[in-house]
Structure 1
Amino acid sequence: MIRPPRFLSLLCLASACLLPQLATAAKQTVCTITINSADEQKAFRKFLPADKYDFVELVERNRPDWLGSACEAKVSCDMLVISGHYGEGNEFFSDVMEIRESLSIGELERVSCSGSCPNLFANLKEVYLFGCDTLNPNAQRTASAEIVRSLVREGRSPAEAVRLAREMHAARGESSRDRMRLVFKDVPVIYGFSSAAPLGPVAASSLNQFFQSGGASQVGKGHVSGGLLRQFSAQGLASARGMTAGDSLAGMRKDVCMFADDRLSEAQRLQALHELMQRPTAQARLLLDRVERYTAGLDKAKRQQPEVAQALARIAADGSAKDRYLAFARDADEPRTRARMVNVAHALGWLSPEQRVDELALLFKDLLARKAIAPTEVDLACAVNKDRSLDKALQPVAAGGRREDDVGHSAVRACLGGDDAHDRTLEGLVSTDDADVRIAQVYLRHRPIADASELRTVTRAIAAMNGSEAQTRALDVLARHYLSDREIVSTLQQLFARTRSSSVQNAIAGVLIRADADAIATTDLLRTLRENRLKSSSGGNMVEALIQRLQLSSARRPDASLAELRNRSR
């Protein structure tokens, strides 16, 4: 059939009108989140043609809600490039002090799980994660022995318990790779590093080589690029696929989204939490971080909401879930885990305030029965009794049982309110045993010395120490205290003059530079620093910084002798 000329002209006109729209539709949006180095972003911009790719930087400097801003603008990403250091805190961050922006996996989970930002990641084809361990397959959380014992208590055979614990860790150990797969649900290709990632300039160099060899034709297609993996093979680049509805980890994603989905009401979230607690306790244990954060955020105002109060009452009345949970908590291998679970039990109404204290007392009684105490356990004891409100309740624990006299046991007893253990703990600060010094460091972070006389005594003891390494460590602890006592300054000045260790001199300067300005602003101290500083400690260190501070102070003071000394030393 021959169409009339007028029809053909209209068809051609329509086609011509559609061409710009088709061209626009064909363009892909490359979203970049530049937390640290911009090197990787620049490599993508350089080689991906502007007629095919639009670039959108999501980070807005000095705006804390920059990701929310991108959601409000209805940005839709086809590709996502994230550049930043990635660490144990599960967040991307920068090592540049001027850059304050960061990106936590928790925030990415909120965006992924919620309906508040439906466009941002909905059309993603590829994600590039330029950060260390972003696709590390190793589980971040392990509690194998605890889980096996809990499953046996709940009626499983030992062999079955071991098998189930292994499966549970595989499904709920939350490796970095699993967390990224959870966040970027249904994304065909996620690139990241299974261990240490290359620095920005090195990564950019590899990207440049990849693109120069025709790599641009391999990106944005939603297929794994063998060329890109080969280019970064020495750095351990890996690929993964986002979770799908039929994924073996889909159940884990549902539980995670229970905490992250901002569409859920508090009552709905508590109902989901109750259902979690009714399952084997091991599942709640592997989600303890999230359970802990959520229950800690249930403030008085939220708890007074009728639906929330009813949901909490239902959890509090669930005696079966409570008994399983507390049995698991009391059997936890790590005291810190046990304490955290006790606090969650209190938040859920399973323990009254008095019962919580009783549980903590049992915890520390068991801890003090151990042969050795680690610094982390001292940190726990001091943190639990941070405001000393539990002194009265925990002093019997500190005073009872077998009384080991080592620094570790003494520090725990001192944290629990045992005043007689304080002096023994301070002795660890001037010990030649590194473990004792580290324990004293932890203790004094929580309980800094407030008494001026005691601080003088400790300073004299540090000054009398033999061995520069131990003395340096002890001085580093002293630097956490704000000094205004001239006698202490004099003791440190004398030590500076006689020591033959540049590290000790540097540590002394570190103490004094944080001290009260009036206490250190003397011509005698400046003279001592200039005449006795060791050659290896000069230039670009704490001693030099202290000297510069004293010189600046002298310029602002009408102290002719100090100014004269400064001029003579030039």
Structure 2
Amino acid sequence: MRAVIIAALLCGAAVRTAPGWTLEAPAARRTACVISFNSFDEIQAFRSSLSPDEFEFLDLAPQGPLPAETAEPTGDQPPPWIFDRCRPDIRCDVAIYSAEFAGRFFGKNGFSLSLQEMEEASCQARCDGLFHDPQEVFLLACNTLATKDQDGRTPEEYLRILLDHGFDRASAEQVVELRYGPLGPSFREALRRIFAGVPQIYGFSSVAPKAVVTAPMLARYLAAKGDYTQHLEQAAGRSDRNVDLLRAFKDTALTQTTGLKRSEPGAQDRDAVCALYDEGRRVPDRLRIAHAMMSRDDFLAFVPTLEVFLARHPPDRFDGESRALFEEITTLDAARERILRLVTDLNVSALKLQLAHFALEMDWITGEELRRIAVDGTKKLLFRPLTSEAVDIICEIAKRQNLGDDFQSPDLSTGLFEVSEGVRLLDCLRPADERVNPRLADALDGADPSLRLWAGYALSRRLPLDDSTLTRLAGYLNDGLPDLRARVRWTFVAQGPLSNEASEAVHAQDPVLAEELGRRYRSAARRR
């Protein structure tokens, strides 16, 4: 996140394909690789200052629509878009990331890049030109080089900043935990690992100025350096303190570090992480690596990577050697006790359930225990004042655990049916009790259009509906809200064959739709 002061929240920077920029880099020139996620100011400072005779700018941002992401990574999932930029003929001398940052680089242009995606790509030799060949890397976003130490903000204040900037509660909690908690490496160490071998990495240890402020700072720095090609030649392989850059960014949180060196103990950690991502390795060999990670005192730093591995290789599919190795991991008492302590001690949150789900994968809790954690957490949230944050958490819990049979209509307060956020919660919870249907139907008569639309949407996801609800729903086929009319119509099409009572109710409101539904069902009956 970026700010001139803490109150000015998240950092910005833009990604557009600049005219004349290309992925074909003439060998005679240095290569500046750029990815701009939000605004163009910082990239333009470089482009305006560096001679086009000496520098070719390669815009590595994704072009065109990206494939839809699945909820969980799988072996069949398309690789992240950054993999498409990994080519033997691309070698960056300078890499510039201009963005907002919160565990992933993102911005207004609708695409993002997570640390996990970057880490996995950086493990592949074909991506060396992007991640390990640069002489300098500029990470122009807040917290990119933050440690786990607390800065001028408390974790609670950072959480509020993320929520105010549009993060849902579940994502915001995960970012805060990665920033301040024991789970995963620090942002600084993660990016040092990603850019292993790079002599000079620049980023912010806390909040950072907005791009409109940093762009003039960059321009002053580049002007002070003069011949930047000569600067790179003189600095090649060296990690000296960049006095000119730090002077230009005086009174900001800009800091400098190096990529991970082979001589550092962390280099072995990077090798182990890369091995877990390597689908060319046998699963048993990677389970041995996982065993070594889970045996360490700092194993929590590796849990996010282990979660990716287990999502791609579910333990219930292990057999033979893999099953025996996995069972050895599950006997590691210190790791088990620490995870279970976190699951017990953490407040109700998406992170709590994430760790509980990891404990389930490790056979440290049963499916029934996971369900009890999910149900108890949801009940606690239902007794709290209704907020968007609480709804986000319940929806995240419901993604991982089906709770529809655990909540009956009497468990749900009247207030939930009177506001759109309450109905959104009910849609996520999806209680199986049919007594919920008439209460949702009552919300269709509310004064708030958002409430009415959410009620129609929630009912359309509870098919098949009972006759009483369908008869009421038919009364909205000619509603004044076009989106509600469309949703109700879709509901009748998706419902299947209607009773005579429901058919008559539809015919009374929309004879054409009633005839269409009749033809559809008669045709289906003949095919059977």
TM-score band, normalised by the shorter chain? 0.5 to 0.7
In 2: Cα distance, 1:261 partner to 1:135 partner: 27
AA at the equivalent of 1:417: F
AA at the equivalent of 2:249: F
The reply to whether residue 420 of structure 1 matches residue 437 of structure 2 is no
Query: What corresponds to 1:159 in structure 2?
Result: none
Deviations 1:90-123 (A, max 9, x none): 2222313xxx543222222113233343443333
Using the TM superposition, give the Cα deviation of residue 270 of structure 1 relative to its aligned residue in structure 2, in angstroms: 1.5
SS of structure 1 residue aligned to 2:292: helix
Query: What corresponds to 1:14 in structure 2?
Result: none
1:454-533 aligned at under 5 Å gives the runs: 454-460=439-445, 462-463=446-447, 512=481, 514-516=483-485
Match for residue 133 of structure 2 among 113, 118, 123: 123
Using the TM superposition, give the Cα deviation of residue 214 of structure 1 relative to its aligned residue in structure 2, in angstroms: 4.3
Distance change (3 Å), C-alpha of 1:295 and 1:306: same
Match for residue 341 of structure 1 among 355, 365, 375: 355
Query: What corresponds to 2:311 in structure 1?
Result: 296
Contact 2:31/2:58 (8 A) holds in 1: yes
Match for residue 55 of structure 1 among 54, 57, 72: 57
Greater relative contact order (Cα < 8 A, sep 6+) = 2
Match for residue 322 of structure 2 among 308, 311, 318: 308
Gaps in structure 2 of 5+ consecutive residues: 1-25, 67-79, 156-178, 461-471, 490-528
Q: TM-score, normalised by structure 2?
A: 0.61
The reply to whether residue 79 of structure 1 matches residue 91 of structure 2 is no
In 1: Cα distance, 2:59 partner to 2:321 partner: 41
The size of the alignment, in residue pairs, is 402
Contact 1:274/1:315 (8 A) holds in 2: yes
AA at the equivalent of 1:457: D
Distance change (3 Å), C-alpha of 1:124 and 1:63: farther
Distance change (3 Å), C-alpha of 1:129 and 1:341: closer
SS of structure 2 residue aligned to 1:76: coil
Query: What corresponds to 1:331 in structure 2?
Result: 344
In 1: Cα distance, 2:339 partner to 2:252 partner: 45
1:329-408 aligned at under 5 Å gives the runs: 329=342, 331-336=344-349, 337-351=351-365, 355-361=366-372, 364-365=375-376, 373=384, 383-384=396-397
In 2: Cα distance, 1:369 partner to 1:273 partner: 35
Using the TM superposition, give the Cα deviation of residue 370 of structure 1 relative to its aligned residue in structure 2, in angstroms: 9.6
Using the TM superposition, give the Cα deviation of residue 311 of structure 1 relative to its aligned residue in structure 2, in angstroms: 2.7
The reply to whether residue 182 of structure 1 matches residue 170 of structure 2 is no
Distance change (3 Å), C-alpha of 1:48 and 1:363: closer
SS of structure 2 residue aligned to 1:191: strand
In 2: Cα distance, 1:335 partner to 1:518 partner: 34
In 1: Cα distance, 2:322 partner to 2:131 partner: 32
SS of structure 2 residue aligned to 1:358: helix
In 1: Cα distance, 2:382 partner to 2:403 partner: 24
Query: What corresponds to 2:288 in structure 1?
Result: 271
Distance change (3 Å), C-alpha of 1:326 and 1:356: farther
- Aligned-CA RMSD value: 4.5
Query: What corresponds to 1:558 in structure 2?
Result: none
Query: What corresponds to 1:29 in structure 2?
Result: 31
The reply to whether residue 239 of structure 1 matches residue 256 of structure 2 is yes
Query: What corresponds to 1:93 in structure 2?
Result: 106
Contact 1:115/1:262 (8 A) holds in 2: no
Using the TM superposition, give the Cα deviation of residue 321 of structure 1 relative to its aligned residue in structure 2, in angstroms: 5.6
In 1: Cα distance, 2:139 partner to 2:194 partner: 12
Using the TM superposition, give the Cα deviation of residue 78 of structure 1 relative to its aligned residue in structure 2, in angstroms: 1.7
Using the TM superposition, give the Cα deviation of residue 288 of structure 1 relative to its aligned residue in structure 2, in angstroms: 3.3
AA at the equivalent of 2:440: L
Contact 2:295/2:332 (8 A) holds in 1: no
Deviations 1:402-446 (A, max 9, x none): xxxxxxxxxxxxxx3333213x2x424548xxxxx8666534444
In 2: Cα distance, 1:268 partner to 1:249 partner: 20
Distance change (3 Å), C-alpha of 1:25 and 1:72: closer
Deviations 1:179-211 (A, max 9, x none): 222211232211223444455454434333333
In 2: Cα distance, 1:123 partner to 1:212 partner: 25
SS of structure 2 residue aligned to 1:40: helix
Distance change (3 Å), C-alpha of 1:272 and 1:169: farther
In 1: Cα distance, 2:392 partner to 2:407 partner: 14
1:548-559 aligned at under 5 Å gives the runs: none
Greater fraction helix: 1
Contact 1:346/1:356 (8 A) holds in 2: yes
The reply to whether residue 228 of structure 1 matches residue 245 of structure 2 is yes
Using the TM superposition, give the Cα deviation of residue 265 of structure 1 relative to its aligned residue in structure 2, in angstroms: 3.4
Contact 1:383/1:446 (8 A) holds in 2: no
Using the TM superposition, give the Cα deviation of residue 303 of structure 1 relative to its aligned residue in structure 2, in angstroms: 2.9
Contact 1:428/1:440 (8 A) holds in 2: yes
Distance change (3 Å), C-alpha of 1:26 and 1:456: closer
Contact 1:379/1:443 (8 A) holds in 2: no
In 1: Cα distance, 2:203 partner to 2:253 partner: 8
SS of structure 2 residue aligned to 1:185: coil
1:188-207 aligned at under 5 Å gives the runs: 188-207=199-218
Contact 1:378/1:443 (8 A) holds in 2: no
Contact 2:477/2:485 (8 A) holds in 1: no
